[in-house]
Amino acid sequence: MSTVLVLVEQFHGSARRAGLECLSAARITGLPIVAVVAGDGAEKAASALGKHGAGKVIALTGAAQWSPDAVARDVAAIAKELDAKAFLAAATATGKDIAPRVAALLDSTLHSDCTGLRSEGGALVATRPWLAGKAIATLRSSAPVFCATTRPNAFAATESGGNAEVVTRPASTDGKAVVTAIAEKVGGKLDVKEASVVVSGGRGLRGPENFHLIEELAAAFGSAATGASRAVVDAGWRPHAEQVGQTGKTVSPQLYVAVGISGAIQHLAGMRTAKVIVAINKDADAPIFKIADYGIVGDAFEIVPALTRAVAEARKH
């Protein structure tokens, strides 16, 4: 029977949420799901994937170093052995590194950064924002294997119950490119792409010394990430890793709070698929209000501390 093969990323033996979301997307296909996990900790991560819908998990073990081309070759070989109808991975940095290689090895097209997936008359159809989010593209494929990456946060990482058969398989060790070192992120901060709540600040905050307001509001939400507009990243107020937008990261959180951000088209391109958008801006005509679900017209220096107190208070109950 045809299957859908899902590459699930893991870190230190725990499946990454974007990978679990990808398994949820795979369940939409109605096909049996085989998951592949690779890297140090793959076996440990494999056992948890059954409850997210995988019927079988293949853990690629034994590679001393991470090699995207070796992992891609192993995944493509498994897809061929299974005669997989579809291959899915999350559109994370790792997924973007591996999925195009897998698609090429399978002689297929890759639909990247998809936010929707459905089965139509037995064929898979993906959707994704196009032209900086101004249009939604509907993507079909006549390629032998339907290959797609799913945008983090676009699908809910729900559990379906169940147990997976876990098998190990020796990973290829003859990769041309190998990762020799990984620098841990400073402070272990949550990445904007993966957070379900993102609080972003723009030039309206006047200077880097005022971004504690953004950090405090993010902290009040519990596990929120901090983001930034390009104007403040270019000014050196915030690190590039926080930049949201066309030339930064694309995010789809449950909640996006834009503080002192005008809402230039290039910023909107990176956050317009957020489920709920809250904008705080002292200019009632700021373009961000056109796409905001909730808008607060006023001075961020008054509103953000009040909002932080209100969120912290609400979370106590």
| 83 in contact with ligand FAD (CB under 6 A) | no
Beta-strand relationship, 56-61 and 33-38: parallel
- Under 8 Å between Cβ of 244 and 280: no
Find, among 264, 195, 263, the residue nearest to 227 by Cα.
195
From residue 240 to residue 279, the character string flagging contacts with ligand FAD as x (rule: CB under 6 A) and all else as - is ---xxxxxx-----------xxx-x-xx--x---------
Q: What is the CA radius of gyration of the chain?
A: 21
Provide the mask over 177-216, with x wherever binding to ligand FAD is found by CB under 6 A and - wherever it is not.
-------------------------xxx------------
- Comparing CB distances to ligand FAD, the nearer of 170 and 239 is 239
Query: 63 or 251: whose CB is closer to ligand FAD?
Result: 251
Please answer whether residues 290 and 199 qualify as being in contact, where contact means their C-beta atoms are separated by less than 8 angstroms: no
Count of chain residues binding ligand FAD (CB under 6 A): 28
Closer CB to ligand FAD, 5 or 231, in the complex:
231
Backbone conformation region of residue 287, classed left if phi is above 0, alpha if psi is from -120 to 50, else beta = alpha
> Binder to ligand FAD among 41, 190, 301, 312 (CB under 6 A)?
301
DSSP string for residues in 284-312: TT-THHHH-SEEEES-HHHHHHHHHHHHH
Number of H helices, E strands in the chain: 9, 17
The residue among 2 and 130 lying less far from ligand FAD, judged by its C-beta, is 130
Quick one: which segment of 17-25, 101-109, 280-288, 305-313 binds ligand FAD (CB under 6 A)? 280-288
Binding site for ligand FAD (CB under 6 A): 202-204, 229-232, 243-248, 260-262, 264, 266-267, 270, 280-283, 286, 299-301
